[in-house]
Amino acid sequence: MECHVRYEGDDDPDKCSARKLARFDLAELHRSANATPSGVVLNPFAEQALSPADDQHSNLVALDCSWETAQAEAFDLRGDHRALPFLVAANPVNYGQPFQLNTVEAFAGALCILGDREHAEQLLSKFRWGHTFLELNEEPLRRYRECTDSADVVAVQSEYLEQ
Per-residue pLDDT tens for 58-104?
999 998 876 555 555 556 788 999 999 999 999 999 999 999 999 99
- Other Cβ atoms less than 10 A from the Cβ of 153: the count is 29
> Residue 150 is part of which domain span?
2-162
What's this model's pTM, rounded to 2 decimal places? 0.93
Q: SS3 letters for 135-156? A: HHCHHHHHHHHCCCCHHHHHHH
Q: Which of 2-11, 38-47, 94-103, 136-145 has the weakest average pLDDT? A: 2-11
- Other Cβ atoms less than 10 A from the Cβ of 160: the count is 15
Q: Total structural domains in the chain?
A: 1
Confidence of residue 9 (pLDDT cuts 50, 70, 90): confident
pLDDT tens digit string along 127-141?
999 999 999 999 999
Whether pLDDT at 152 is above 60 = yes
- Give Cα 38 distance to the centre of its chain: 15
| Distance separating alpha carbons of residues 31 and 98, to the nearest angstrom | 28
